[in-house]
Structure 1
Amino acid sequence: MEEFRVDTIGEARVIRFAGEITMDNAQELKNRGRQVVEGQGRAVVMDLSKVTFIDSSGIGFLIVLKSRCDEAGKRFALLSPSVQVRKTLRLVQLDAIFPVAANEGDMARILSL
């Protein structure tokens, strides 16, 4: 799998992923994302700054991740989507549903942590 790691910033768990999010890895990401949501922290953030492409399965992963956060009473945000990912989110109108932080300082403000 491409680069995947989880960092803690304050009370947020930040999932950092580099590469493409497609049907080839979306299920594995859902499984890893579930573990992050079930762990410590009041918020989960998906860092998309190094994601070069996202397909419909990747969009599904983001929706599932947000839903799991909602069910767990945790806040959710996207961090620094790449230009390509931002275009895709805008195309499917998810930029209106997901809080999007431009940087880590903006992330803390959006999540009210």
Structure 2
Amino acid sequence: MGIEKIVLLIHVVLAVGVIAFVLLQRGKGADAGASFGGGASQTVFGSEGSGNFLTRTTGILVTGFFVTSMALAFIAQEKANSLESINVPVVEAVETDVPAATSADENALPAE
């Protein structure tokens, strides 16, 4: 398995993790344990509630997502540079002379 596939797999897992942790966080004005019902945040996440744990974990996941994004961009740039170095011939566009339309042609009705 190539390094690009490994980084891409980690990137996708981090993306799903970020989505999950953002959705678990409470909205503005909601109870800390709204996702789990009642006061569940006190028992599931400790006495501090879910805010600190979820916020910190989301930050770590987002940092990892950023790092893998940069790694994938670097890998793509290296691949593009390596393709340029193999000297593949590039076909250039050829311009052809097209006769200009006359005013008589512009006023003529199209043939049916």
Normalised-by-shorter TM-score class: under 0.3
TM-score after normalising by structure 1: 0.22
* Larger fraction in helix: 2
Which one has more relative contact order, counting CA pairs under 8 Å at least 6 apart?
Answer: 2
* Larger fraction in strand: 1
Larger Rg: 2
